[in-house]
Amino acid sequence: MNLKQAGSGAEVDERLAALVTNANAVRAITAAVEGTIGPKGLDTMLVDRFGEVIITNDGVTILDKMDVNHPAAKMLINIAKAQQAEVGDGTTTATIMAGGLVGEGVNQVMRGVPVARVIEGVKYGISCALEEVKKRGRQVHDITDPVLEKIAMIAGREHSDIADLVVSAARLVGLEKLNEPSFKLSDIITAEEGAENEVFLGVIVDKERLSKDMPQEAIDAKLLLVDDALEPEEIEDEALSTDAGFKRYIELQTEFKGNLQKIVDLGVKVVLVDRGVHESAEELLTDAGVMVIQRVSMKDMRRVAEHSGARVIKRTGLKKELVDLQKYLGYAEKVYEDEKLEQVRIIGGKGKPMATILVGAATEEVVGERERIAKDAASSVQAAAKGGYVPGGGSVEIAIARAVEKSREQVKGMVAYGVDCVSNALKRPLAQIVENAGFNPLEKVEEVVAAQANQKIDSLGINCDTGEIADLLELGVVDPVQVKMHAIKAAGEVAVAILRIDTIIKKKEEGAGANQPAAASDASIPDF
């Protein structure tokens, strides 16, 4: 078994080979995103083999698009993805802290501290850190709280237009909606080239009407949502060759036309279909002045149903009597197609209020990045509304690090060195933020530690414009509690998982090609 080892080239104790190899891979991943953190963070250009380019400073996007082979590196990337899925922001912070924990852990092991003691100390330190975050959380009691604007600005990378859109949408839907477990504010965001920034009460379906001969607009519209194809029930070709089969085919065609006529008789003006639409249905509904939208995603279908008050129905459900079908209909004040943006809007539904954020972009190249920025801002605003907020800019991590250092006295023996790993890793976000701003990280971190201790103010940090000590709460630099909690927890979990790996062994191939002789390059563990 060959192990590729980066670093100085010095011989490493065979017992530590796996640990050092993994630590080097983790360090490479951390280095890829650390330059993006903070108000002065820079962008990363991702280029594929076809020359397609993405320019972003969104941590999870960078990690997701990187060409990575090393298993430990993939573990770190998966943690970042989990952070994104859970709270929608803070992936770079989680990655930097995880890299710091692994690096500090390896340093302690190289000094002779048993790995088991380091892991025990890391777990204890992470537990203390999470408790400290909870203690420092400040709650949002009102949707009009100005702190939500500040959070949107920070998470939205100081794009004031995007921050305004997100906060306006949050206020439209209200605190109750933001606290629903199944609702994600980031899901209501769409970005379009050439569009104007806009927030409105309604839903966008990113589809065009089935035919240009259909109405482009419907006022006071009844909506029918079909979670199926709008086609006659099928009959097998073999059955068609028999008299009974052909008779059944005629019956199904007649029944289908009758069901379409029910839609017309109900006064339905807009039909959304999950799958395709039969040409006979298209013709009949076009003649009746009905707007039909086909192949609508289930996510959009559910949002339209919730906003309009409709109930989604299956194709077979159209056999019901008119009085029963009436219960499935939704209502909207206006439904229209925006031909320029190639989308349909449902406005003023009679169901639950649903807001939509439309983010405009000047060119195709920046559409994706503006959408990512808006989603980060929306996720952070919702997280703060649900779980509160803490000072940002790395200041709260310094306060927590100081508390973790004090808790060191509660542990015995070499476990304390694992606690040190946590307190040192908690200082990494601030160190990287000030380094990206052009200041000496060692100097500034110590200045903040001393200032917080002397003034007993946990929100003290560094003003990245001046390099001076400042109260970041007063500057409006705040982060959601949930983002911090999940980042610290995720960093601890991946660090412990990597530190526990004692040996790396290449698995034998299974399935097709398992008996083929391995190429020379296949014998080694993949590196970053």
Is the separation of the CB atoms in 118 and 511 below 8 Å? Answer: no
Q: Which of 447, 460, 479, 432 is nearest to 38 (CA)?
A: 432
Same domain, 357 and 211: yes
In a domain, 449, yes or no: yes
Domain boundary among 361, 378, 398: 361
Same domain, 123 and 254: no
The sheet carrying 198-205 orders its strands as 189-193, 355-361, 198-205, 343-349, 330-338, 217-226, 268-273, 291-293
Same domain, 336 and 431: no
Q: Which two tokens stand for residue 108?
A: 């302690």
Q: Which of 497, 498, 494 is nearest to 94 (CA)?
A: 494
In a domain, 232, yes or no: yes
Is the separation of the CB atoms in 150 and 476 below 8 Å? Answer: yes
Same domain, 484 and 346: no
Q: Which of 57, 20, 44, 36 is nearest to 436 (CA)?
A: 36
Cα angle at 448 between 442 and 454, to 5 degrees?
135
Domain boundary among 317, 345, 361: 361
Same domain, 208 and 353: yes
Whole-number pLDDT of residue 230: 92
Whole-number pLDDT of residue 252: 83
Same domain, 355 and 419: no
Range of the domain at 445: 14-138+414-499
Q: How far apart are CA 308 and CA 221, in angstroms?
A: 10
Same domain, 428 and 330: no
Is the separation of the CB atoms in 477 and 461 below 8 Å? Answer: yes
Whole-number pLDDT of residue 352: 84
In a domain, 510, yes or no: no
In a domain, 183, yes or no: no
The CATH number for 203's domain is: 3.50.7.10
Is the separation of the CB atoms in 222 and 331 below 8 Å? Answer: yes
For CA atoms 202, 207, 210, 212, the dihedral sign is positive
Paired strand residues for 55: 45
Q: Which of 349, 343, 334, 348 is nearest to 218 (CA)?
A: 334
In a domain, 115, yes or no: yes
Same domain, 102 and 32: yes
In a domain, 397, yes or no: no
- DSSP state letter for 373: H
Same domain, 208 and 322: yes
By DSSP bridging, strand 217-226 and strand 268-273 are parallel
Residues of the chain with pLDDT under 70: 1-15, 235, 237-241, 243, 511-528
Is the separation of the CB atoms in 32 and 44 below 8 Å? Answer: yes
Task: Report the domain count for the chain.
Answer: 2
Same domain, 219 and 325: yes
Q: Which two tokens stand for residue 436?
A: 């990206």
Q: How many CA atoms lie within 13 A of 205 on its CB side?
A: 32
Same domain, 204 and 300: yes
The CATH number for 71's domain is: 1.10.560.10
Domain boundary among 326, 361, 396: 361
Q: How many CA atoms lie within 13 A of 186 on its CB side?
A: 23
Q: Which of 160, 239, 47, 114 is nearest to 502 (CA)?
A: 114
In a domain, 130, yes or no: yes
In a domain, 354, yes or no: yes
Same domain, 218 and 304: yes
Whole-number pLDDT of residue 416: 94
